[in-house]
A and B are shown apart, each in its own frame.
Chain A
């Protein structure tokens, strides 16, 4: 059943009381992830796919590849796009219809992590400069929402891309079922998200924490410790020291997360 705002107002009080004693509801440390599983190749129809479970949050990413024209400002590069859908099946709080603000932000921040890290070698996806390139579409379906979609979606996205085979092209069309090799992947960006509740900062917020949070901060980091995207969310501000300490924690924790790939 959908919980009302009032429910979370009351919940937040008890959550804060526990947090001030250093306790999270599932006994995790403040900088600890839930159990994570990554399973690649969960779809036969997609060129690449992966399912990620982060605690009870479950998302499936599928990669489809087609051919198209490049953007005028990068005629020698393939194109990519990430889209995440907050499916009404995954939570009583998600409504069918036009993508909500939250869905748009999720899509764009996950896209940014993959795009800005240059995870996909787009130059190798050029077929004929200025005319024909591969287009990579990463679509992420949320199956069960139990908090922290950003990290789960980024992990699923990069896992699916690593699983992706590049289809053959003949007469400017994709040849179904025939492949020329793997999709060229250069980097493994990982996103780490922190929620701020009261003065407490928690890594990997679960559903309760996500709904009670006053602010959040998502940081995308590559295997070379390069920070390739950041996004503050929520209305509560952060101090400089808080931001710096989250960045340092994320650099450390992203390595553990990446070991699941």
Chain B
């Protein structure tokens, strides 16, 4: 390693292969397990590369305090939390601006797919706990949460699948690792997408994006989310296949 120059010298894509050996349009290994938290009404555990994420759904249940109730539909609540030991520097537990924002955009990414009108005056709680993070934890969280909501039997119009696309070292890539996200020229564009309807429910971006790269990035994001959606459906089928005919 050359001191001080490692970022400039690092080749993010070499002969079509990335630092971890993936192709530019390849997701990390994703494993989804449904029904992993016994106490919850629905739950999922997602291992996404080095990300480890639990999602649990409680509800529909009584919505307290009462003034937060909606007489017409259920209130969806979403809490994204990082374990203090989930990254190399310890995270102070509790309130952070980052987790408040991620909780908000994640909740809104899921809300329109749920038939909340079926459960007036109730609350549906989604808790997402990041046990280990390596870039893309909000996408893994939303992916896990959507599966957990399905597992909880909340009626929905479609599963929400999420992933990030971006750029590192001048290359457009799917599903960055932390190392790629730390590239000096990195772009991070996380999206949530409903494959059933072809609509985006979350779009964020930071970095320096040229207009000419947009079309390719968003196409790649659709492709990535469709692959994630396939994994979500398989995971749910695996748990429920035997029970479908009941």
Q: Which A positions have Cβ atoms within 8 angstroms of B? A: 99, 101, 104-105, 107-108, 112, 115-117, 217, 222, 225-240, 243-244, 247-248, 251
Cβ-defined contact, B222 with A240, below 8 A: yes
Chain A residues within 8 Å of B108, by CB: 233-235
Which of A229, A230, A247 has the most C-beta atoms of chain B within 10 angstroms of its own C-beta? A230
25 CB contacts below 8 A, A to B, read A99-B97, A101-B100, A108-B97, A116-B208, A117-B208, A217-B203, A222-B208, A225-B210, A226-B210, A227-B205, A227-B211, A228-B207, A229-B206, A230-B204, A230-B205, A231-B205, A232-B105, A232-B203, A233-B105, A235-B201, A236-B112, A237-B199, A243-B203, A243-B218, A247-B211
If A99-B97, A227-B209, A231-B105 are given as contacts, then 6 extra A-B residue pairs at C-beta distance below 8 Å, sorted by A number, are A115-B206, A225-B210, A232-B204, A236-B112, A243-B203, A244-B215
User: Smallest distance from the beta carbon of B33 to chain A beta carbons, Å?
Assistant: 28
**Secondary structure class of chain B's binding surface, majority of residues:** mixed
State which size class the interface on B falls in: 20 to 34
Cβ-defined contact, B101 with A251, below 8 A: no
Given known contacts A235-B201, A237-B200, A238-B203, is B218 in contact with A244 (CB within 8 Å)? yes
Cβ-defined contact, A116 with B211, below 8 A: no
Cβ-defined contact, A105 with B101, below 8 A: yes
| Any A CB within 8 A of the CB of B111 | yes
Chain B residues within 8 Å of A230, by CB: 189, 203-205, 209
Cβ-defined contact, B200 with A240, below 8 A: yes
Chain A residues within 8 Å of B100, by CB: 101, 104-105
User: Smallest distance from the beta carbon of B225 to chain A beta carbons, Å?
Assistant: 12
User: Smallest distance from the beta carbon of B208 to chain A beta carbons, Å?
Assistant: 5
Given known contacts A237-B199, A247-B214, is B111 in contact with A228 (CB within 8 Å)? no
Chain B residues within 8 Å of A226, by CB: 208-210
User: Smallest distance from the beta carbon of A232 to chain B beta carbons, Å?
Assistant: 4
Cβ-defined contact, B203 with A228, below 8 A: no
Which A residue sits closest to B215, measured CB to CB? A244
